[in-house]
């Protein structure tokens, strides 16, 4: 798969990350599009079939890809694997393997066991993806804490936006779906966002494009906290103009 094909896949399946990546410098796009294409493939693997075993096999395929890249083995002949292998080091491959493993929760209809389980899921999915992107863009280990805090905020926002669809598919996405439970969860997301911003100086400029994908998180979290009924009603989306303006402000100012 060429870089253009990776971009096309992300554009179809994850338009927010596509727009965020197109706002990044060309050198960053060569890193971000393969990572986000991997995330698309892993994210949709549990949903393309009603057969858990087949879904498990699809996820295992991508875990094997990550293992091959991490171990420096010859990678399989798949159209998306070559551009991914070109930008990943072993640690990044390990992060993607953990991401794919966490997506097993999406296959089944069990609720999260507790707060620790919920947090671990968001950290392994949203957190691992943004940290893998930042590492591939050149971030040092000192950037991990703010990147993961930002990733947690993104993960909470994404989960809240996905609640109507997940519940329609028989899933239980929230530990507490009451209005107060939603407010509390949104508040945790906003607290994580504030913690990330408090360590903004630990994130080098070259890694900031990894943060662009979270351009909608704050607005979503504030909307859910102010009017939690919007979560169930699926009304957390802002206007197209507001979305684009927010992305433009973040990418032009650098104040994520």
User: What's residue 193's pLDDT?
Assistant: 98
Of 220, 208, 210, nearest in space to 246 by CA: 220
Model confidence band, residue 184 (pLDDT cutoffs 50, 70, 90): very high
User: What's residue 54's pLDDT?
Assistant: 97
Q: How far apart are CA 57 and CA 128, in angstroms?
A: 21
Of 181, 256, 254, 183, nearest in space to 218 by CA: 256
The mean predicted confidence, pLDDT, of the chain is: 95
The secondary structure of residue 73, as a DSSP letter, is P
Task: Look at residue 50 and tell me whether its pLDDT is greater than 60.
Answer: yes
Task: Look at residue 166 and tell me whether its pLDDT is greater than 80.
Answer: yes
The secondary structure of residue 50, as a DSSP letter, is S
Task: Work out whether the CA dihedral 91, 93, 96, 98 comes out positive or negative.
Answer: negative
Which residues, in sequence order, are CB contacts of 10 under 8 Å at separation 6+? 17, 18, 21, 33, 36, 37, 40
User: What's residue 126's pLDDT?
Assistant: 98
User: What's residue 52's pLDDT?
Assistant: 96
Q: How far apart are CA 47 and CA 45, in angstroms?
A: 6
User: What's residue 1's pLDDT?
Assistant: 55
Of 122, 149, 133, 97, nearest in space to 17 by CA: 133
Mean pLDDT to the nearest integer, 162-169: 96
* Tokens coding 21: 């990546």
Contact between 221 and 193 under an 8 Å Cβ cutoff? The reply is yes
Residue for token pair 């996405």: 173
Task: Look at residue 234 and tell me whether its pLDDT is greater than 60.
Answer: yes
The secondary structure of residue 79, as a DSSP letter, is T
């Amino acid at each position: 798969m060429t870089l253009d094909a990776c971009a096309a896949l992300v554009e179809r399946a994850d338009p927010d990350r596509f727009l965020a990546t197109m706002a990044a410098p060309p050198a960053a796009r060569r890193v971000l599009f393969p990572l986000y294409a991997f995330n698309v493939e892993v994210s949709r693997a549990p949903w393309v079939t009603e057969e858990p075993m087949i879904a498990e096999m699809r996820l295992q395929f991508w875990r094997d890809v990550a293992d091959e890249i991490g171990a420096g083995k010859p990678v399989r002949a798949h159209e998306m694997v070559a551009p991914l292998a070109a930008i990943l080091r072993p640690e990044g491959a390990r992060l993607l393997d953990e991401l794919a493993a966490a997506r097993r929760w999406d296959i089944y209809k069990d609720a999260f066991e507790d707060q620790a389980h919920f947090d671990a899921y968001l950290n392994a999915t949203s957190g691992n993806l943004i940290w893998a992107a930042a590492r591939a863009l050149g971030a040092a280990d000192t950037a991990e804490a703010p990147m993961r805090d930002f990733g947690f905020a993104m993960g909470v926002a994404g989960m809240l936006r996905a609640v109507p669809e997940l519940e329609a598919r028989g899933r239980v996405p929230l530990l507490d779906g009451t209005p107060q439970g939603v407010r509390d969860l949104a508040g945790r997301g906003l607290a994580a966002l504030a913690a990330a911003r408090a360590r903004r100086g630990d994130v080098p400029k070259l890694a900031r494009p990894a943060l662009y994908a979270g351009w909608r998180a704050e607005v979503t979290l504030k909307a859910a906290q102010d009017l939690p009924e919007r979560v169930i009603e699926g009304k957390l989306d802002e206007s197209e103009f507001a979305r684009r303006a927010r992305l433009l402000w973040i990418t032009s100012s650098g104040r994520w």
